[in-house]
Each structure stands twice: as C-alpha cells, then as structure tokens.
Structure 1
C-alpha cells in the first residue's frame, strides 16, 4: 500500500485504519510511513525501531513537534474502515489514526512552514510504558525531540487540552488469620477488614484544581479486589487495588505520600506510577498556539505523552480530531468534519509567523 499524504486527509485516515497496527505489530505501517516521508525532500527521516522521526532544517527561529502514535488497541471486528455520511468507522479512527493523517497531510502540503518541524510517529503507546516508542526515543535520542513546543494529536474533539493528570496504582492490603469457616471465631477475616478501605474510598473527597484556567478533577478509586483461599477457609489476606488520578500540581512523590496518608494503618504498595504534566499555557509558544487556533481550552482528564515532553522541558498540548470518549470502543468512529477542521486550524498555525 502506498500512502498518499498530499491527497484527501479523510481518505488517508481510512487508508491508515485499513493497515492494521495493533501494539507490537506496527512494523509494516512504520515502513510505509517512513517511505512516504522520505519522498518529501525537505525532511530528514530517521527511525528507532518502529518509531519514525522526520525533521526539517530550514533555519527557522523556532521548532515545533507534531506527534502521534501508530498503534491501536486490539481489533474488534472493526477493520476495514467503513463510512456512513460524515462518520468514518473503524479501529483507530479516533485514537488516533485521524490525528496521524492530519500530521502526515500537513507534512506534505505545508511547503513553507513558519517553524522548523519535527514529526514523530511512534509505536506501543497503548501498552505498558516501558515499551512506548516516544519514551524510547527520549532515552536514546533526546536531541531528536528538542523543540520549543509540541502538539500531540491525541483526540480532543477540536479543543485544546492542556497538560494531563498523573496516574498511580497501589495495592492496599489487609491481613487476618486463617481458620476453618465452621469455626470462624478462631480466625480474623481479612476480606471483612477490607470494608474499612472501601469506606475510606466512599468517603473520599476529590480535589478540583484550576491551573492556567484548566480544571483538573482528581479521583481515588478501587479498581480490583483480590482475596480468599477456599470456600471453607477464613481468608488471611485481601488486596484492594486503587487507582489515583492526580492533578499535575502534585509530583509523584507527593501523590504517593497522599495515598499513604489516606490509607494510614494499612499495608500500601505502589505498583505503577506516571507523572502528570502542567498545562504550561503561560509559555509563549503555547499561548501563541491557543491564540492562533482560537479553540476552547480545557484540562486533559487522563494521562498522555505530553508528560514525556514536559519531562524534557518542552511545553506541549493535546489537540486532534475525534471524540476521546469513543476511543477503544468496537463502534469507534471519527466525524470527518473534525479531520478537515483540524487540518485547517493547524495549517493556519504552521503558516503564521
């Protein structure tokens, strides 16, 4: 398959969707993207695994990164794509092959950008962070990502979403004493003891934090419960897995301290953590982007790779076509008018001096 980057971005979205790229299998699509970008003479194209990076070197005073991931969640009978009126259905239409199509189309059709551009199309975003292609490039080749500003074309339905929440998972464990259930008074039921954890969660009052006009709502919730030995045994252990989504004004250390404070007296083990990212909308490059687009601004309620750019000191925002609430659904679709609008908005921005 040959990708027509300069043609209709809606057709390009469909072509990308019809090229399956579930996490870990992005290689063939990365090959095609690499070849297509190599055909654009103003870009220097390179690669790290299945992440493709293309850079202009036009001597512009500022550099902007446009980034998107090539992978999707597992296909749910929704490939190939199909179109019904203004809606394009298929795996990855929203998350985020429509964003990739916008990025690639602009690469081919904005011939005199006001900024030098770095395009990053990366692998393994939908799986564990250790495999993430953007993270790998950041570790192996941080100079490839050096820039004044970054736009991650994650689905935002045409709004600008600033920063992102941090996320942390922890196991909160209760301990008891095993006994035969016929003589339960000889034991201490660890599952019953977990009621105190659930009561704490039910009573928890989440913060709402306004940062640069973006309101982040935190959340602390049980996402799994594990316990029990056998149908006739009083259990001596119960684990409640909790997920803390925290506002980006907290560091990971502060988030961990908060979780341990909430569950004081319990055995708490942090099992996974990723920092948030401040919206950074006061940075001149970000403020200019928002002003040029004239789009609504809100907080990103979720974690995205803007956090990776933030860790490199690069202001970054989320902006792309597609409704994020449709991501990962079997009935996932994108409104094709949002693709056109995103192309037009970003074209204006990239051409503005």
Structure 2
C-alpha cells in the first residue's frame, strides 16, 4: 500500500477513536465510530484476496448494523428525553438497544459470530488492529453508559462471552480463530466486572491489549497461521518459541505471569460483592480458554516437525522484521505481576 494512503488511514483510525473518547453527544460518538470503520476497511481488503474481501464485507455489514442501532437508540432517547447527551440514557428501549449495538461492535457473545470469521480472513497485523485498537472507542461508550444499563444484562453478556469464548476455541486449528475466541472470552471478563469496578475493566483491557499484541506480533514474526506450522518454530527460532509460549500462558491467566493479575483482581472483587457462584463459573470458564492456549504451547515446544533434519545444529531463519515492539510487549506481557500492589494503590 502507498505509504501516504497508509498514513491517512492510520491517522483516521486515531481521529475516529479520539473523537469518540472526547464526545459527550451521541452524534459525535457515532461519527467517531463510523470514521474508525471506514478507515480500517481498506486496510482489511488490501490483499485483494477473495477471503480478505469476504472478511471485509462481513465486517462492514456488521459494523454498519451496529452503527444504525446506536443511531436509532440515540434518536429514541432524544425523542423521549429531549437530550442527546451520552450520560442521559434514560429510555429503557434505548439503553437495551445501545448495549446490544456496542456488544455487536466489540464481538461480545451472543453477538460474536462475525469475529472469528472476519479475523480468519485478515493478515496478522490488520487482525492485531481489529483485536485491540478497534475495541477502544466502543469500550469508552460502554463504560459511560454502564451505570444506566440493567446489571443483569451485563452479567449475562459477561458469562456468555467467557463460556462461548472458551468452548468455541477448543476445536480450532487456525491461530487467528483461536485468538478471536480468546478476545471474546477476555471481553466477557471486562464486561462482568464493569458494574462493580470500572477501574478493573480498564486494567483488564490494557493488559489484554498488551498480551494480544505480543501474541499477534510473535505469530507474525514466525509466519504462523495454523497450529501445524508451529511445530517448526522450535527448530527455527527457539527463543521466540519460548517467549511466545509464555505469552500464551499469560493470556490464559497463569501465575506468575502478567495475565494472572486481572483475573485475580476481578475474582477478588466479585467475591467482595458476594457473587460466589458467578465467580466460580468465570474461574471454570477460564480453564476452557487455558486448554487451547496449552494446545498451542504443546505444538510449539513439545513437538517437532517430522521433516526436521537430525543435524546437531538446527538451521535458523534470519528475519528482516523489526523486533523492538515484539521484545517490549513480550517483556511487559510476562513480567508485570510484581507491580500489582502499586496498581491496586492507583485504582482504589
């Protein structure tokens, strides 16, 4: 892609998200979401492959549907209350439609069906943008309207997303689909704690973006899109295989890695809110997600390809890709658990 066009598209992504962040009016927030959608569409279709075009079409139709629902909900609320302020979502129909549309925007279950299919048709870098940056603007709106939403709806969305994100990834062989179901499960953890502690939602979102960036950048460096291609990873780049396996375990929430921090704090907060059954279901659903992360780790570190030669010094591949972002995100995704007390002091 032409670097000038790429710069315009990336700056439009930033503009759309910033506009939604800064808006208190539904029309401005909607405009920011639309700029985001229109900016990422050419990035998704740049490969000119039928699978990429199909994914782009599915994404555009889904996002257009969600945007139309948001606009309709805002109009209904303005008709009933006379105000367009985001914080004045008083009409029950408007609030239900708004949370449904925003759940569709970020891929929360049961509005998640588009996400694995779309992510499967994209290259890894565009998939990284879709899984991280594109969730920021809808999440800003969700956090603002959450106090006005029925808590039962948020709890059901969180539980369903965590369970479906765990179950859906079990029988997948495509890494991008596994990361899509991982995204659905992590969104569930963020939504379920939103009504009790929005600071924990922001913490979980930040660490999710960090760990998912590590996973996508590592897979991009290894040129891996399927589980069976991971079996060559140990022979080619053993250090990358080790750090990627640890990053996936961090996504699964195993101590002493960074990913344990949000799950630990969320379960602790749910116990403080006297929700033991919900916390137990969430903890059990995390084990489902952990299983498919362990499948990837097993393929990377405990198996070797039958085509590998039995030489004493395995061949190595030289990469021309920049490794700085991968190294920084990997370090953060593996080693931030010791600063949990400091983070607790900041968010409480």
Normalising by structure 2, what TM-score?
0.30
1 or 2 for the larger relative contact order (CA 8 Å, sep ≥6)? 1
Normalising by structure 1, what TM-score?
0.29
Greater helix share, structure number = 2
